[in-house]
Amino acid sequence: MSSKIFIAIVCHKPPDLRQYPECYYKVLAGSALNANTKVFQANNDFDYYDDSFIDNISNLNKSFCELTVQYWMYKNIAANILGIVHYRRFFKDGELASINEILSCERLSSIMSEYDIIVPTKRNYFPFTIYRHYKIQHFSEDIDLLSKIIEELCPDYVSSFKMVMKGHSLHLYNMFIAKRAVFKEYSEWVFPILFKLYSCNLHTDRNSFQSRVYGFLGERLFNVWLFHNKSRLKIKTLPVLSVKVKSETVKIINFLSNFVTRSKAK
């Protein structure tokens, strides 16, 4: 498909909002997994694309999350501007007073005439480093293995990886909007790393949350790539509009619970 702007609204169920700006398109993530497709069909919602069309990794969605849609776009969508948002998270126009304004196609086009990429406002995890936070929430061996793979596949990124891991904030959600060349460049960098990780079977013998490991690591890798290339990229940061998502208070409580539990286990 070819169009000037293609912003994928990554869905695994019919989204709550039904009216979107014209450059936004619903894309069913993990559509190769029949259960997801049946949910849409049961709701008579056929106005969507799916990530199992032509060149795809749709069947890996349970562990790659929204990255299966990124891969599908990278391989199959020939738009000048490509982007990923979620059915429950959107970029909002920071210049508008209303917090409920989804970034319009006109405003998006204007921003992209001056910038190479749009990314979400960072989340701060201070006093925890990014490495420490991941270790508490997930498994430190994931990050340790990722470090070795980066050293093997792209050694020039090792110092950037270390800087991100020592830092205290991240651009999250695997959400971004970029010019086609930038979208392609990042995808060509990140997927060989993720596929190498996948071959190590980190996702096996884990619960449904922890098996999303490549999606979690993808968020960290995006920050590594962005940090490494920040001097040559024009980067625009925008706040994220959340639609019916788990409150930050609940997330903090869950994080502290994991922290206490793992501290006691030592």
CB neighbourhood size of 74 (10 A): 19
Give the per-residue pLDDT at 248: 52
Q: How confident is the model at residue 15 (pLDDT cuts 50, 70, 90)?
A: confident
Q: What is the CATH number of the domain that holds 172?
A: 3.90.550
Q: For 20-63, what is each residue's pLDDT tens digit?
A: 899 999 999 999 986 767 777 777 666 889 999 899 999 999 99
Tokens for 119? 């990314």
CB neighbourhood size of 47 (10 A): 10
Q: Looking at the predicted structure, is the pLDDT value of residue 124 above 50?
A: yes
* Domain enclosing residue 143, as ranges: 5-265
Q: How confident is the model at residue 78 (pLDDT cuts 50, 70, 90)?
A: very high
Amino acid at 175: M
Q: What does pLDDT average to over the chain? A: 89
The strand pair at 81-86 and 117-120 is best described as unpaired
46 vs 66, residue with greater confidence: 66
CA atoms within 13 A on the CB side of 34: 0
| 120-134, 186-200, 248-262: range with lowest mean pLDDT | 248-262
Give the per-residue pLDDT at 2: 47
Q: Could you give the number of structural domains in the chain? A: 1
Burial of 19 (0-12, 13-18, 19+ CB in 10 A): exposed
Q: For 196-246, what is each residue's pLDDT tens digit?
A: 999 999 999 999 999 999 999 999 999 999 999 999 999 999 999 988 655
| 69-78, 166-175, 257-266: range with lowest mean pLDDT | 257-266
